[in-house]
Amino acid sequence: MRNANSPSLLALSSLLLALYSLACWRPAGIGVGGQYNDAKAEIAKGGPRINVNKAIASLEYVVVRDPSYKDSLTLLGRAYYMSGRYQDSFQILKRALAVNPEDEIAWIALGLTVLRLGSDAKGLETLKGGLTLLAKESKPGYRGFEFWDQDSYVQTAIRRAVVAVMKGVENKQGVIQTGEILLTRIDEEEWWANRKQERDQLKPQN
C-alpha cells in the first residue's frame, strides 16, 4: 500500500490546494488603470466599509509609476488622511496641486489636513478656496457627468460646509466634520453617476 506521506501524494495535495485557492481568488486590477479603479471603488464605499490600507497600496502602486494619472495623487492624499497619516497627506496633496492647481478636491482635502495638523487659520483659508472652486464647478457636466447631483446632496453639503467655515476657527470641529461629509457626498454622487452612465451605455440605441 502506498504511504500517505509519499512525495507524489504530497505534491497532489499541494496542487489541489493551489487550485482551490485560485478558484476563490479574485484578481486585483491590472496595471495602473486597474489599480486606480480598485482604489477609487474602495474609497467610494464610504465610512467604516473602506479598506484604507488596500486603497493606499493600490494608489502607491499608481503614483510610483505615473504620478500624473488622473487624480491619483489627490486620492492617495485623501487615503492617507483617512488613515490618520496627516503629514503624509499634506505632502502628497501639495504634489497633487503642483500637478493640477485647479483641483478643488485637493484644496478641500488639504485644508482639512492642515486643520488636523493644527494650523487653523491657514487650514480655514485653504478650505475656503477649495469650497469656492467647488461651488463654481459642481453643476451638470462636472467630472464628465451630464446629470450631476440631481438630488442636490452635494450642493446641500457645500452650503453646510460654507456655513461652518464662516463661523471661524472657534467652530473647528464643525468645519472638519462638514468638510469630511462633503467629500463623502461627492464620492457617493460620483459612484451613482458612474452607474447611471454605465446603464445608459447598455441601453439599445434607437
Q: Which secondary structure element, helix H or strand E, spans residue 53, and what is its range?
A: helix 52-65
- Confidence band for 45, pLDDT divided at 50, 70 and 90: confident
Shared domain for 110 and 196, answered yes or no, is yes
Do 122 and 68 share a domain, yes or no? no
What single-letter amino acid sits at 116?
Answer: R
Task: Name every residue whose Cβ is closer than 8 Å to that of residue 88 and which is 6 or more positions away in sequence.
Answer: 80
Lowest mean pLDDT among 1-5, 16-20, 109-113, 146-150: 16-20
pLDDT band at 11 (very low <50, low <70, confident <90, very high): low
Exposure class string for 145-161: b at 16+ Cβ within 10 A, else e: beebbeeebbeebbebb
Q: Are 117 and 90 in contact (CB under 8 A)?
A: yes
User: Residue 135 has what pLDDT?
Assistant: 97
Domain count, the chain: 2
Domain range holding 151? 102-201
pTM of the model: 0.82
Query: Contact, 166 vs 156, CB < 8 A?
Result: no
67 CB-near residues (< 8 Å, 6+ apart): 73, 95, 99
Residues 181, 115 within the same domain: yes
Question: C-alpha cell of 130?
Answer: 477649495
90 band by pLDDT with thresholds 50, 70 and 90 = very high
The string of DSSP letters for 84-121 reads T-HHHHHHHHHHHHHH-TT-HHHHHHHHHHHHHTT-HH
pLDDT of 28 > 70? The answer is no
Please indicate, yes or no, whether residues 61 and 106 belong to a single structural domain of this protein. Answer: no
Q: Indicate if 96 and 53 belong to the same structural domain.
A: yes
Report the CATH number at residue 71.
1.25.40.10
**Which pLDDT value is given to residue 27?**
47
Question: Residue 69: what pLDDT?
Answer: 95
Q: What is the pLDDT of residues 108-131, one digit of tens each?
A: 999 999 999 999 999 999 999 999
What is the model's pLDDT at position 7?
A: 52
Do 110 and 197 lie in one domain? The reply is yes
Average pLDDT, the chain: 87
Query: Are 120 and 45 within one domain?
Result: no
The pLDDT of 30-58, averaged and rounded, is 91
Q: What is the DSSP string of 130-167?
A: HHHHHHHH-STTGGG-TTTTTT-HHHHHHHHHHHHHHT
